Amino acid sequence: MTKTFGKLAFLIIFSVLVFWSVPAVAGQSGIVSCTTPACGYQENLTIGGLRNAPGVTGYCQSTKKFVRLKLKSHDDVRKTHYCPGSNEPMIPINSDSKIPEIPCPKCGKLTLNYKLMMMKD
């Protein structure tokens, strides 16, 4: 009976810690590079924000630049964000799977690759 009670108590505590905790908003940092021979495009890129420093990452087509904006709160992440100094909406990048959909800023081909270097919290 004591073993069963101990297992039940462990299961309850584990469930409370895992399922009722506030999820962390994590970001990631890596390198975007072009796989086209002789292009040479490469840039460090942080995707997302941190728990205490919310942010959003996107791409501005007119300037051909990746942009990361700091936000006031995590509630602002789902809003539409605009490229700095213009009314052009940023193409949001919520994960590294979006990178291959963006043309290389240097050669214009759909050959961008993202290499994850570090997960951030």
| pTM for the whole structure | 0.71
**Closest to 67 measured CA to CA, from 51, 41, 43:** 43
How many angstroms separate the CA atoms of 68 and 94, rounded? 11
Alpha-carbon distance values, 83 to 4, 22, 26, 69, 109 (Å)? 58, 31, 23, 9, 22
| One pLDDT digit (tens) per residue for the chain, 121 residues | 556 656 665 555 555 444 443 333 467 889 999 999 999 999 999 888 766 778 889 999 999 999 999 888 878 888 899 999 999 999 999 888 889 999 999 999 999 999 988 876 5
Residue 60's beta-bridge partner residues? 65
How many angstroms separate the CA atoms of 41 and 20, rounded? 44
